[in-house]
C-alpha cells in the first residue's frame, strides 16, 4: 500500500488540482484545510471526479501527520502562519515540499513581480521555520493550477526540484512523476528556489501575452535516470 | 540586402557562436572587439567554417555603428565599460540587445548564483547607460555558447525576449529566428529581465547535474504569431 500524500492548503486551486491528478493515478491523498468541513467538501469533489479515489479531508495539522512527504500549496501570504500551525504536527524525518511563490500579488502588487524574501526564497523561509529534523524541498511552482484541475487536459512539462539531498529530491520526484506528463528535474540545492520560484511570475507574464497556461521544459537533458 | 548584425564582444564564446550561426543562415555579421586584430581573426574563423560568409571584424564602436540592431555579448564584468565606450557610437533609433547575465562568477562567486544589480537587471542597467533614443531589449541569455559554436549540433529551444515595445521585440525576434531551432518568446517588459537573466544560473545548476548544455522551452504556447 502506498502511503498517503498530505496536501496542506489542499482546498486551493493548486492543491485541489494535485489531489485530483494523484487520485486519478491511484495514489491515496489527504486534503488539509483550516476547516475540516471544507477539507471534506474538497475530498468529496475529488471522489465525484475520480470514482474510487482514496481521498480524505482533514484539518491541516492532522493531515500533515498522515504521510512522510507533505506538500504545502498555500498562498505565500499564508505560508508563515501555516508553518507556525504545523510546528506540533510535523515530525523528524518528514519532508515538507514547499510549492509557494512569493508573488508581489501577496501584498496587492503585480503577479508578474515578486517579493524579496529575507531568507532568499519562500522555500528557505520554510526551512527556517519547520521543526528540527524536517527537511524542505521546493517543487511544483510552474505547473498551472487550472490545467491540473481540468482532467481533460494533458500535461507535458517539467517540474524543477530544489533541495539539499538528492535522495530527498528523488522521493519527491517519484510522487511528482505519478502524474502523467510531468517530468521531475533536479534543479540543484535548496537555494536555487530563489530562481525557480521566479519562474512563476515569468510564466504569468508569458500567459498574459499568449493567453495560455504555459509551463517550462528543459531541453538537452539526457534520458538517463538523474536520481540514481 | 539584409542589414549587418553587429556583435559587441563578438570574439567571446556567445558572440562567436551567434556570428557562426547567423553567417550560416546567410546574414551579414560584424564582429566587434576591443582589438581590431582579434575581431578580424574571429571573422576569419567564421569564413573558414562557413564558406562565403559575409562577416567582417572591427573595433567595437565601429562595429556598433554598422547595423540598426546591435547585440552585446560581453561578460557582465565588462558591460558597463563597454557601454561607456559605445556612448559616441550608438545613435537614436538603434536597438541594443543586451545578452549579459550578472553571474556571481563575475566577482569570483559561483556560476549558479547571481549578483543583485541596482537597477534590477543587467538589461535595466544597460538601458540607464545607453544614449537617449537608444532602446534596450534583453535576449539570448539561455542559449548555450558551446552548442551555438558547434555547427554540427542542432538547436531546439526558446529565447525569451524582454522589452518595453512589442515592435522592438519583434525586430529582435526576427533576427533570433534566422537561426534554425530557436523560437523567440515574448517574455514581457524589460523589467522581466530580472527573472530571465536568472535562467542562466539555473541552467548552469542543471548542467552540472546532468552533464549537458540545457536550454529552456515554454510549453503550451499557441501556434499563432505572437508579434502580429
| B216/A219 CB distance under 8 A | yes
Higher pLDDT, A193 or A226: A193
d(CA A30, CA A55): 6
Q: Which residues contact A51 (CB under 8 A, 6 or more apart)?
A: none
Q: Which pLDDT belongs to residue A188?
A: 97
Q: Which pLDDT belongs to residue B94?
A: 98
- What band does B2 get if pLDDT is binned at 50, 70 and 90? confident
From the CA of A180, how many Å to the nearest CA of chain B?
15
Instruction: Work out the percent of chain B whose per-residue pLDDT is above 70.
Output: 100
From the CA of A196, how many Å to the nearest CA of chain B?
8
Higher pLDDT, A227 or A35: A35
| A216/B211 CB distance under 8 A | no
Residues of B with CB under 8 A from a CB of A: 112-114, 144, 147, 156-157, 160, 185-189, 191-192, 194-196, 198-199, 201-203, 205-206, 208-222, 226
Q: What residues in B contact A156, CB-CB < 8 Å?
A: 219
Q: For A205, which of B156, B188, B198 is closest by C-beta distance?
A: B188
| B218/A208 CB distance under 8 A | no
* CB A123, CB A117: distance < 8 Å: no
d(CA B102, CA B9): 16
Per DSSP, the three-state class of A79 is helix
- What band does B1 get if pLDDT is binned at 50, 70 and 90? low
**Alpha carbon distances (Å) from A218 to A19, B3, B129, B188:** 25, 33, 33, 20
Strand partners, A184: A159
Q: Which pLDDT belongs to residue B111?
A: 95
Q: For A187, which of B156, B206, B215 is closest by C-beta distance?
A: B206
Q: Which candidate, A135, A59, A68, places its Cα nearest to that of A98?
A: A135
- What band does A11 get if pLDDT is binned at 50, 70 and 90? very high
Q: Which candidate, B140, B174, B133, places its Cα nearest to that of B160?
A: B140
**Residue length of chain B:** 228
Q: Which pLDDT belongs to residue B227?
A: 84
d(CA A69, CA A6): 7
Q: For A112, which residue in chain B has the nearest alpha carbon? A: B192
- Per residue in A68-83, pLDDT (tens digit) is 999 999 999 999 999 9
Q: Which pLDDT belongs to residue A204?
A: 98
User: ipTM of this model?
Assistant: 0.91
Q: What residues in A contact B203, CB-CB < 8 Å?
A: 218
Q: For A214, which of B147, B202, B219 is closest by C-beta distance?
A: B219
Instruction: Work out the percent of chain A whose per-residue pLDDT is above 70.
Output: 100
**Residue length of chain A:** 228
- Per residue in B91-149, pLDDT (tens digit) is 999 999 999 999 999 999 999 999 999 999 999 999 999 999 999 999 999 999 999 99
Mean pLDDT across chain A, nearest whole number? Answer: 97
d(CA B156, CA B140): 14
Q: For A220, which of B208, B213, B226 is closest by C-beta distance?
A: B213
- Per residue in A94-129, pLDDT (tens digit) is 999 999 999 999 999 999 999 999 999 999 999 999
Q: Is A167 exposed, middle or buried (0-12, 13-18, 19+ CB in 10 A)?
A: exposed
Q: What would the DSSP string read from start to end of B75-137? A: -GGGHHHHHHHTTTT--TT-EEEE----BGGGGT--TTSBPPPTTSSHHHHHHHHSPTT-EEE
- Per residue in B14-47, pLDDT (tens digit) is 999 999 999 999 999 999 999 999 999 999 999 9
- Per residue in A81-102, pLDDT (tens digit) is 999 999 999 999 999 999 999 9
* CB B218, CB A202: distance < 8 Å: no
pTM of the model: 0.95
β strands within A60-192, DSSP E: 69-72, 95-98, 135-138, 157-162, 182-188
| A221/B201 CB distance under 8 A | no
Instruction: Provide the greatest CA pair distance for chain A.
Output: 46
From the CA of B113, how many Å to the nearest CA of chain A?
8
- Per residue in B184-204, pLDDT (tens digit) is 999 999 999 999 999 999 999
Average pLDDT over residues B5-20: 97
**Alpha carbon distances (Å) from B183 to A147, B17, B174, B198, B215:** 24, 17, 10, 19, 12
Average pLDDT over residues A179-208: 98
| B216/A212 CB distance under 8 A | no
Q: How many other β-carbons are positioned within 10 Å of the β-carbon of residue A103? A: 23
- Per residue in B48-103, pLDDT (tens digit) is 999 999 999 999 999 999 999 999 999 999 999 999 999 999 999 999 999 999 99
- Taking only Cα atoms into account, the Rg of chain A, rounded to an integer number of angstroms, comes to 16
d(CA A195, CA A120): 9
- What band does A1 get if pLDDT is binned at 50, 70 and 90? low
Q: Name the helix (H) or strand (E) containing B181.
A: none
Q: Which pLDDT belongs to residue B226?
A: 85
Strand partners, A5: A29
In chain A, what is the straight-line distance between the N-terminal and C-terminal CA atoms, in Å?
23
- Grid cell locating A197: 520560484
Supply the DSSP symbol for A116.
P
Q: What residues in B contact A112, CB-CB < 8 Å?
A: 188-189, 192
Q: What residues in B contact A205, CB-CB < 8 Å?
A: 187-189, 192
> Would the pLDDT of A2 be above 90?
no
Average pLDDT over residues B201-208: 98
Q: Which pLDDT belongs to residue A225?
A: 84
Amino acid at each position: 500500500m502506498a502511503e498517503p500524500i498530505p496536501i496542506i492548503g489542499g482546498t486551493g486551486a493548486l492543491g485541489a488540482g494535485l489531489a485530483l491528478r494523484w487520485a486519478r493515478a491511484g495514489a491515496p491523498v489527504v486534503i488539509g484545510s483550516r476547516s475540516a468541513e471544507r477539507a471534506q467538501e474538497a475530498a468529496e469533489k475529488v471522489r465525484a471526479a475520480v470514482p474510487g479515489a482514496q481521498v480524505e479531508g482533514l484539518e491541516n495539522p492532522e493531515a500533515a501527520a498522515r504521510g512522510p512527504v507533505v506538500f504545502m500549496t498555500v498562498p505565500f501570504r499564508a505560508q508563515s502562519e501555516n508553518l507556525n500551525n504545523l510546528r506540533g504536527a510535523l515530525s523528524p524525518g518528514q519532508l515538507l515540499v514547499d510549492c509557494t511563490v512569493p508573488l508581489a500579488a501577496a501584498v496587492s502588487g503585480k503577479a508578474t513581480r515578486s517579493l524579496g524574501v529575507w531568507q532568499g526564497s519562500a522555500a528557505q523561509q520554510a526551512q527556517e521555520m519547520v521543526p528540527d529534523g524536517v527537511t524542505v524541498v521546493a517543487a511544483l511552482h510552474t505547473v498551472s493550477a487550472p490545467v491540473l484541475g481540468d482532467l481533460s487536459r494533458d500535461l507535458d512539462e517539467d517540474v524543477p526540484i530544489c533541495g539539499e539531498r538528492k535522495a530527498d529530491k528523488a522521493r519527491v520526484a517519484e510522487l511528482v512523476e505519478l502524474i502523467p506528463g510531468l517530468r521531475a528535474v533536479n534543479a540543484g540545492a535548496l537555494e536555487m528556489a530563489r530562481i525557480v520560484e521566479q519562474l512563476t511570475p515569468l510564466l504569468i507574464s508569458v500567459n498574459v501575452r499568449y493567453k495560455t497556461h504555459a509551463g517550462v521544459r528543459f531541453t538537452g537533458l539526457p534520458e538517463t535516470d538523474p536520481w540514481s
